[in-house]
Amino acid sequence: MTENRQASRGVRHVTVDGNHDGQRLDNFLMGELGQIPRGLVYRLVRTGQVRVNGSRAKPMKKLRSGDDVRIPPVADNPPESRRIPDDLVARIRACVIEQTENLAVIDKPSGVAVQGGSGLNWGLMHVLARMGEGYRPVHRLDRPTSGLLVVARHHRAARELQRAFAGRRVEKRYLALLEGELAEPTVTVDAPLKKVRDASGQRRTVVAEDGQAALTRFRLLETVGGYSYVEATIETGRMHQIRAHAAGIGHPLAGDERYNQAPAPAGLNRLFLHAHYLRLDWPEERVFSAPLPEELAGVLDRLRQDGPDSVSSMDT
């Protein structure tokens, strides 16, 4: 990649090379601008401060080798100056399941955002920057969701993994606890989702005819204490997809403060959603797993003790 700096304005013009051919503009900018909130990247693109070959572009535009990308100056605190808790780097390091020259697979804790923003001074990517260079986001997990997250370790790996996710060649499965009892052992929700803002200004996702295609499958594992313990498989990656689809069928996730008005089960102080299974096909086919966190397993145990009539799908 070649770069021409215009020092008077602090604007950079970067020529896309072959290693970035096919990469999305937003992900390209994340790599060029460092660990800044993704929302800021979208704002720079939306307001026209970023240009591709002199023209406005959308964040999801696929770049091509030879494209000229205008990148404005962005003030951002280096990772060293961020107020990252002292013990967090060690905590995240302990959550790394596997790390290779191409990628790292992390069992992300609940409560840790992938990026900063929305009032957060730091995110997981900032913590990873303390651990070494080259980490690049490939997909996301909501802040309250725990479980398997893969990050790339260089540009080519980011491009290949993003293509795998976009081509639906990555299999992701989640463990969740739903309000109420599912009527069927398997429930498939094929309903388009649309991003909206509620009266308080919070972003939500709702089922809407003019939304984006989204498909989620819920497989009942166990009914316990008036809840359904399920495995959810998604074939698309929309914002809050599992949470919105579960709420849309009248079975919102336990502990979901945004989509569920009912009180959480005793002892549950977070969203009951955990990404426990991840299958990748690049650079070779691999399957990764992460067990249910202790705080969620404990909730299930208490429900089983309080509800002796619970039924496991493995016993029927």
Handedness of CA 162, 140, 282, 245 (dihedral sign): negative
User: Which residue of the set 26, 67, 142, 256 is catalytic?
Assistant: 142
Determine how many CB atoms are found less than 10 A away from the CB of residue 106.
27
Q: Which two tokens stand for residue 241?
A: 């997809």
Find the range with the poorest average confidence among 83-92, 163-172, 271-280.
83-92
Residue 313 has pLDDT above 60, yes or no: no
- Per-residue confidence at 80, pLDDT binned at 50, 70, 90? very low
User: 190 with 217: CB under 8 angstroms?
Assistant: no
Domains of the chain: 2-71 (3.10.290.10), 79-163 (3.30.2350.10), 168-315 (3.30.2350.10)
Environment class of residue 59 by beta-carbon count within 10 Å: exposed (0-12), middle (13-18) or buried (19+)?
A: middle
β-pairing verdict for 51-52 and 286-289? unpaired
Report pLDDT digits (tens) over 35-55.
Answer: 677 888 999 999 999 999 999
Pairing of strands 273-280, 171-179: antiparallel
SS (H, E, C) 227-262: EEEEEEEECCCCCCHHHHHHHHCCCCECCCCCCCCC
- pLDDT tens sequence across 186-211: 999 999 999 898 887 788 999 999 99
Q: Is 142 annotated as catalytic?
A: yes
Cis peptide leading into 79, omega within 30 of 0? no
pTM: 0.78
Estimate to the nearest angstrom the gap between the alpha carbon of 112 and the chain centroid.
11
Q: Is the predicted pLDDT of residue 315 greater than 50, yes or no?
A: no
The continuous run of DSSP H or E covering 129 comes out as helix 124-131
6's tokens = 């215009």
